[in-house]
Amino acid sequence: MLFLAHILAAYVVLAAPWLSWVGYQRARKRIAARVPDAKVRLYRALVGEQFITTGVVLVLWYSGRFSATSLGLVVPRSWGWNAVALVVVVAALAWSSLRLRPKAEKIRRSVQDGIGALIPDSRPERFWWGAVSAGAGISEELIYRGFLLYYCTLYLPHLNTSERVLLTSLVFGFGHLYQGWRGAVAAGILGLVLAGMYLITGSLLLPVVIHAATDARVLLIFPPGASPKTLVQGNA
């Protein structure tokens, strides 16, 4: 099963960023052309990719090559600390999101060249975006903070913990380059924060929930049924 681990690492580092960029550009064109369900198709593709990569990691775990501890699939060291951190961070994310809601259209215009095509509008789109957010929290944390950090420990033993965290966070940011350089930098910084949470707690539980909540902020910032007119014009 080691070949599967190498294939997954190569996919995450080399293939995923390119495939994400190509897929997103195609989706932007379909959205600009007002193709029915273009966003829903994009979200479904993202969820499908999340299922596949998560499945590969679970196969590695089931095979015994990667233990639950090495992947972060364990209970946190302190439930109390995790509960407090979770409540504080999620509350802060929700509060900041609602504060930004009056500026939703201005924000939409400012990100139309980055994540603009990802912003859901209709009810089906918002449902699938919720699925994407939850899936990203699970799959990306399992991949980048669980699998990839431990993979670097095995095959790049000369790197210390800080260097491995920096490297995997850079890979995480690069994987979001399709959102523009600002999105990639923001993702890299988020990766550092989530990696810190993982190392402190010894578990992926807190990073998974915080990651999902961070992505789900879109649903609070942008009200349902908002007109995508600005986005369409920007991508036409």
Which residue ranges make up each domain of the chain? 2-235
CA 183 – CA 179 distance, rounded (Å) = 5
Cα dihedral across residues 195, 196, 202, 204: positive or negative: negative
Distance from C-alpha of 209 to C-alpha of 197, rounded to nearest angstrom: 11
Residue length of the chain: 236
Quick check: pTM over 0.85? Answer: yes
Helix 79-100 / helix 181-201 crossing angle, nearest 10 deg: 160
**pLDDT value of residue 148:** 97
How far from chain centre, in Å, is Cα 152?
20
CA distance 145 to 142: 6
Q: Which residue has the tokens 């950090």?
A: 149
Q: Please count the CA atoms within 13 angstroms of the CA of 80 that sit on its side-chain side.
A: 0
**pLDDT one digit per residue (tens) for the chain, 236 residues:** 789 999 999 999 999 999 999 999 999 999 989 999 999 999 999 999 999 999 999 999 999 989 999 999 999 999 999 999 999 999 999 999 999 999 999 998 888 777 888 999 999 999 999 999 999 999 999 999 999 999 999 999 999 999 999 999 999 999 999 998 988 999 999 999 999 999 999 999 999 999 999 999 999 999 887 554 544 433 33
